[in-house]
Amino acid sequence: MQKNNPTVTNAWCVYDWANSVYSLVIISTIFPIYFSAVSKHPETASTVVSFFGFELQSSVLFSYAVSGSFLIIVALNPFLTAIADYSGRKKLFMQLFCYLGSLSCASLFFFTRETFSVSVVLFMLASIGFSGSIVFYNSYLPEIATEDQYDRLSARGFAMGYIGSVLLLIFNLAMILQPAWFGIAADNTSLPPRIAFLTTGIWWFGFAQYSFYHLPGNLYARRPQGSWILNGVKELRKVLQQVKGLQLLKRFLLAYFFYNMGVQTVMYVATIFGIEELQLPSEALIVTILIIQLVAIAGAYGFASLSSRYGNIKALIIAVIIWIGICVAAYFTTTALQFYMLAAVVGSVMGGIQSLSRSTYSKLIPATTTDHASYFSFYDVTEKISIMLGTLAYGAIAQVTGSMRYSILALIVFFGLGLLFLLLVRGKKSLEAQPESVQTVTG
């Protein structure tokens, strides 16, 4: 297949447009608020819920559900990606996870207090589907584009994801805040958010079809023989041995582990910080999230341009230094205006560091390999473990000290370690600045 084919690269970016609505609507905004409302007992206002007979605080159950889905993906993905590489069925695995996630998400339309336990399971399945499909999606990048296009194509994918998710979020927020516009009775407060879950699943499922139609299937014409599982394990062992010998890739993964721990923790707890530390109303938090998403579009392209001038590692170093400054500023933030300004800065580096991390890792994978999904499983596992440990450390410090501000200071340590290991990633020509003449993505 010819690389930089505009139809294929556009189809790849469209999957970001399709699936990013899940992370914004379900993870960051509407679902957590609805989950909290449904969890509260209508008479006693108690937040203790029953999950298949087990009594738990709703916030604890929510945390367990997210962590549990991540643990399942961390355990499964290395083996599934190896099987996908061996069998040449990467797109099939990506489709299966996409359909699991989108259909589970749409099924949350039936989430009520009466269906609470089943709905939590559906939420976990949606999370597994989202996380599971991403690793196969990311692994297409080095297969459909030449190396000089990685940065900008990765940025374009993230930008399309931010745009699509904001559009659907605005539609769903309009339905929640002005239900009469959509013919919904004002006292039927549970219907608009449940429709939001349904539209998110439909959006994800529907737009993904364009990606699946145009993305290549068995790109390397693999003809598997014997047991897929057994040979998949052998494939994973082979890739693991290769990774052990790639010093730059290991150093980058170590750097990514630490600075992503900080990035993802900020993304997951920013709303909670605004509620508990600054006492901001929900409207202000929604404005904050929209600011972050919109600014992140420019940030993704901005850091792609920065990498074209100075190289990937230097651009990532600049991003991490800015994140350290964000943590210091957050510690002293006390007003809504300061929070908005900080959110704008977060957005400017959030999209950049995410898109550039993906493209940098693609450049560090051996050019001769055809096991891209297996290689990206290490990237994905690193990301998921860093999220779990980062949010755990943040919560533990806040619990011990009684203030989330001390937890923010701890994030500086994570970013500092990430910066240190980034400084050790040197010596690969492809990570240096590329000539200006090759910096435009076809399409």
Tell me whether residue 35 is in a domain. Answer: yes
Tell me the DSSP string of 127-143.
HHHHHHHHHHHHTTHHH
Tell me whether residue 92 is in a domain. Answer: yes
Interatomic CA distance for residues 436 and 422, integer angstroms: 24
**Angstrom distances, CA of residue 398 to CA of 96, 269, 277, 403:** 39, 11, 11, 5
pLDDT confidence of residue 48: 82
Q: Which helix (H) or strand (E) holds 55?
A: strand 54-57
Tell me whether residue 443 is in a domain. Answer: no
R_g of the chain, CA atoms, integer Å: 21
Nearest partner of 109 among 25, 24, 14, judged by Cα: 25
Tell me whether residue 199 is in a domain. Answer: yes
Asked if 10 contacts 37 with a C-beta cutoff of 8 angstroms, the reply is no
CATH value at residue 23: 1.20.1250.20
Tell me the DSSP string of 152-166.
HHHHHHHHHHHHHHH
Residue 302 CB contacts under 8 Å (≥ 6 apart), including other chains: 348, 352
Interatomic CA distance for residues 349 and 300, integer angstroms: 8
pLDDT confidence of residue 199: 97
| Partners of residue 49 on adjacent β-strands | 56
Tokens matching residue 382: 């690193």
pLDDT confidence of residue 391: 73
pLDDT confidence of residue 440: 37
pLDDT confidence of residue 224: 59
How many independent structural domains does the chain possess? 1
- Burial (Cβ within 10 Å: 0-12, 13-18, ≥19) of residue 109: buried
Tell which phi-psi region holds residue 183, choosing left (phi > 0), alpha (psi between -120 and 50) or beta.
left
Residues of the chain with pLDDT under 70: 1, 219-233, 235, 271-272, 275-277, 282-283, 399, 403, 427-443
pTM of the shown model: 0.85
Tell me whether residue 1 is in a domain. Answer: no
Interatomic CA distance for residues 367 and 242, integer angstroms: 13
pLDDT confidence of residue 91: 92
Interatomic CA distance for residues 192 and 174, integer angstroms: 9
pLDDT confidence of residue 436: 41
Q: Please compute, for residue 128, the number of CA atoms within 13 A of its CA located in the half-sphere on the CB side.
A: 21
Q: Which domain holds residue 190?
A: 6-438
Q: Over the range 125-159, which residues count as b (16 or more CB within 10 Å of their CB) and which as e?
A: bbbbbbbbbbbbbbbbbbbbbebbbbbbbbbbbbb
